[in-house]
A = this chain, B = another copy of it.
């Protein structure tokens, strides 16, 4: 468990994003248990309330379930789980298309740039 925090976005947003990525890539599986609020807070060196806020968002989005004091679990709802990946992708594509179109960049040029950068520079 490791999250590369940036200084722009709120911590709780980045935590949610991180879980969504884990779900989208299958690293987190349906029904899998996740750390408690306080445990997560310890690992990530963040305030427990911040962890709670992230979990609350995910709970409301139906991504996780919590019963009493038992460990929260990733939902088994395939529909919800599938939508996570689609949502992340659509969001990225939409925002990208908006940016690019306002500069009138030909599609060919874009695809070329993407191919260059996609596999490359996985490092840093």
Which A residues form the contact surface with B (CB < 8 A)? 21, 24-25, 85, 88-89, 91-97, 99-105, 107, 109-111, 113-115, 117-119, 122
> Given contacts A97-B118, A117-B94, A118-B97, are A89 and B107 in contact (CB under 8 A)?
no
The chain B residue with its CB closest to the CB of A4 is B102
11 A-B interface contacts by CB (under 8 A): A21-B102, A24-B103, A25-B102, A89-B105, A92-B99, A96-B114, A101-B122, A107-B114, A107-B115, A107-B118, A107-B119
The chain B residue with its CB closest to the CB of A25 is B104
List the B side residues contacting A122 at CB < 8 Å. Answer: 101
Question: Is A114 a contact partner of B111 (Cβ separation < 8 A)?
Answer: yes
